[in-house]
Chain A
Amino acid sequence: MDVAVTSNVFNPYFSNLNQDYIYKANIEVYDNTFGGLFIVKKIAEQHHRIVFTTEMGNKLFDFTFNNEDFKVNYILEDLDKKILINILKKDFRVLITENLKTTKAYALTKETIKKTSLNNKDYYYFENPEISKVIRVNNGKEKVRFLFSEINDNIAQKIVILHSNIKLKINLKSIN
């Protein structure tokens, strides 16, 4: 049911300036699967660096998000595809965006669902009370699902990003 009074969304999972966020990553794209390390650092308010390396340390991509700006510092030639970069940019922006305005809220028995928008896309945040799920919806259809679990001290130990219109699944497991 709709609730009148509600708070905005606060996502704390990559909000600590003093934390190096290191995840073991596993990416399933079409029938390929590959692993590596997913590294996030908050440099300043609304300023994050996101790097993906192989287990052996070779950089595959290196992105900077600074307010509305997005910059590719490095990307391996084989991955340098505009369509891929755009998908990753959109997904990662969800991970690092901390404050979102709630436009609608639904209170269920165990959780609250808050509707927000980010870069003109509709997102639903599921809170119980920590954010456990985020869904991007377009024309009433689910496009991307973000799952956060094993939350400890504002760090989601496990994160899954699952796309429904393309075969892409990103599994992240915190290692620090």
Chain B
Amino acid sequence: MILYLTLKHMHKLIYILFFIVFAAKAQTPMNNTEATALKTKVKALANTTNTISSDFIQYKHLDFLDNDIKTSGKLAFKAPDLVKWEYIDPFKYSILFKDETLFINDEGNKSNVDIGSNKMFKQLNKLIISSVKGDMFDDAEFNIEYFKKDTNSLVYFSPKDKKFAKYIQAFHITFNTKGDVIEVKMIEPSQDYTKIIFLNKVLNQTLDNAIFTN
């Protein structure tokens, strides 16, 4: 009887241990040395990145929907601040930041916004570039938490600015072993989120200027 109970408990214990180990493997906090090393790696890569081209898949999660809304497209970046973010499926929509202007092409309907004087769009431009590169390690702007996730790194950036935080509560950015961004998750205060997964990402390949037209 005692043996039986012990065995029964052992099973339970093993199960719990297994679960803890498994959960721990999924995501553990980094120590300071690991966090500094990651930061250095990401910054070094960001500083030597002159161009980025990538495909992306975006999932918009709204709690009340049965399925996430899936959209996909392409991203192109050229230092210092040329960015084209283009949705291809299921609709065509692109935004291009160029010469202090935001060019929008909404299924052929073109419009533009002068961002020279618009603080919000300047911030958006900066935000897209820094999140694509992952270089958001600004302690003045964000509360930052570092995790290990399998072989990747995961960093939570929570905006300190109250107005910003009302819009996005946190960015969860996943880096691969090279320090390159492979996933960005933007979480709203309601816990709904937008998840962007980068695929076929190529750094420092010569990008034709023709890509950066609307």
Contact = CB atoms under 8 A, between A and B. Distances in A.
Contact of A53 (B60, B87, B93, B111): B60
A59 B111 CA distance: 21
Interface stretch (A19-27, A86-94, A99-107, A143-151): A19-27
B62 A51 contact: yes
B90 A58 contact: no
A56 B109 CA distance: 18
Q: How large is the interface on B (under 10, 10 to 19, 20 to 34, 35 or more residues)?
A: 20 to 34
B93 A39 contact: no
B15 interface: no
B109 A33 contact: yes
B109 A57 contact: no
Given A55-B87, A57-B58, A22 B167 contact: no
A41 B93 contact: no
Nearest to A21: B65
B66 A18 contact: yes
B60 A73 contact: no
Interface in A54-102: 55-59, 62, 73-74
Given A37-B60, A57-B58, A20 B65 contact: yes
B91 A175 contact: yes
Interface string A38-54: 01010100000101010
A37 B192 contact: no
Given A18-B66, A20-B66, A37-B69, A57 B90 contact: no
A59 B167 CA distance: 8
A41 B87 contact: no
Interface string B22-51: 000000000000000000000000000000
> Interface SS of chain A: helix, strand, loop or mixed?
strand
B62 A24 contact: no
Given A55-B87, A58-B167, A59-B192, A49 B93 contact: no
A176 interface: yes
Contact of A24 (B64, B85, B91, B192): B91
A73 B191 CA distance: 13
A73 B58 CA distance: 24
Given A37-B69, A73-B190, A57 B64 contact: no
Interface of B: 58, 60, 62, 64-67, 69, 71, 85, 87, 90-91, 93, 104, 106-107, 109, 111, 167-168, 186, 188, 190, 192, 194
13 contacts: A20-B69, A22-B69, A24-B91, A24-B107, A33-B106, A35-B104, A37-B60, A43-B64, A55-B71, A56-B85, A58-B167, A58-B194, A73-B190
